[in-house]
Amino acid sequence: MTHLRVVLTGILLSVAALTITVAETRHDGDTAGDSGMRGPYVALGDSYTSGPRIPAQSGRPAGCARSDHNYPALLAAGLELGPRMYRDMSCSGATTANLASPQHTDDGLNPAQLSALSGRTRLVTLGIGGNDIGFGEMLTRCLTMGTVYGVVARLKDVSEDAPCRERYVKDGTDSTRQRMAALGTRLSGLLEEIGRHAPEARVYIVGYPAILPPGDTGCGLALPLAPGDIAYLREKEHQLNDVLRRQARAAGATYVDTYTASREHGACSAGNTRWIEPMIPRSPAAPVHPNARGQREMARIVLRAMRATR
């Protein structure tokens, strides 16, 4: 998802931390020698894949904001894939259109992500769709309206507790449903393209981790949302993941559920347990995006799914 622009203070990771991260990715008996898991591996996706602002930022173009500690990099390290066996094409702000067409960023042009695929490719991960349905824009609008709601609610009784939902739902029709349907159609065609470009590859579609807390309890200034809008946005994320799950099943790919394990680790969780940073991050990451812990846990979940289907 397109990251919200908030100025952060960069924090460099130590060499020891790098070693620990790779070691943690390989736990639970994960082995690089698993049959069918030695690549070549190509990672496709948006900013939830690329890892904006997580040290160290690497790769070209710089505008894609790829971290060398995003879940694709950790997967590649855990599988002991060398530079020639691993390509990360993920890019912040990417939509499904950028899988088949180049993406212009603020700092360079990212080639069409599918261009990295070939008949030699054996592993593909894909994390995409949030930007297609405008989830980042929706979240920004809901946060703005939630801030106003909080001020008004303190001054007087407010009967409507979901002002942002009212912006998207008119006469019982939710405008995001059309976007969801269009996303499903595009994904269907793109998964066919992946199959044509990389017929021998196992494809894993990675769902989005939980952003919001269970229930209608907010988290104050960290994510100033009206109670009803928390439920609404959580519903939209569920629907997005459902689209990804259905398309994976239809294409014979594997859907990887990162939501279930992350439900208690969203942006409202304690700083030492959260996988997603709030509006003002406390750890190096883009606002409302996975931090290093989140990327590490996502890598662990994806690797476990790979081993289960090898």
61 closest CA partner among 26, 108, 6, 105: 108
pLDDT at 158: 55
245 three-class SS: helix
50 closest CA partner among 86, 101, 98, 1: 1
Altogether, the residues listed in the chain come to a count of 310
What is the arithmetic mean of pLDDT over 61-89? 96
Q: How confident is the model at residue 86 (pLDDT cuts 50, 70, 90)?
A: very high
The answer, yes or no, to whether residue 19 has pLDDT greater than 80, is no
pLDDT at 215: 74
d(CA 81, CA 53): 24
Q: How many helices (H) and strands (E) does the chain have?
A: 10, 11
**Least confident window among 2-11, 90-99, 153-162, 216-225:** 2-11
pLDDT at 204: 98
d(CA 190, CA 195): 9
Q: Are 20 and 74 in contact (CB under 8 A)?
A: no
User: What value, to the nearest 5°, has the Cα angle with vertex 268 and ends 125 and 11?
Assistant: 70
Contact partners, residue 240, CB within 8 Å, separation at least 6: 129, 130, 133, 135, 180, 183, 208
pLDDT at 235: 95
What pLDDT, in 10s, does the model give residues 130-189? 999 999 999 999 999 988 876 665 555 555 688 999 999 988 899 999 999 999 999 999
**Least confident window among 38-47, 128-137, 146-155, 293-302:** 146-155
Distances from the Cα of 53 to the Cαs of 6, 173, 284, in angstroms? Answer: 11, 37, 6
For the chain, list the domains and their CATH numbers.
Answer: 15-309 (3.40.50.1110)
Q: How confident is the model at residue 18 (pLDDT cuts 50, 70, 90)?
A: very low
The answer, yes or no, to whether residue 65 has pLDDT greater than 90, is yes
**Least confident window among 33-47, 69-83, 118-132, 261-275:** 33-47
The answer, yes or no, to whether residue 6 has pLDDT greater than 90, is no
Q: How confident is the model at residue 286 (pLDDT cuts 50, 70, 90)?
A: very high
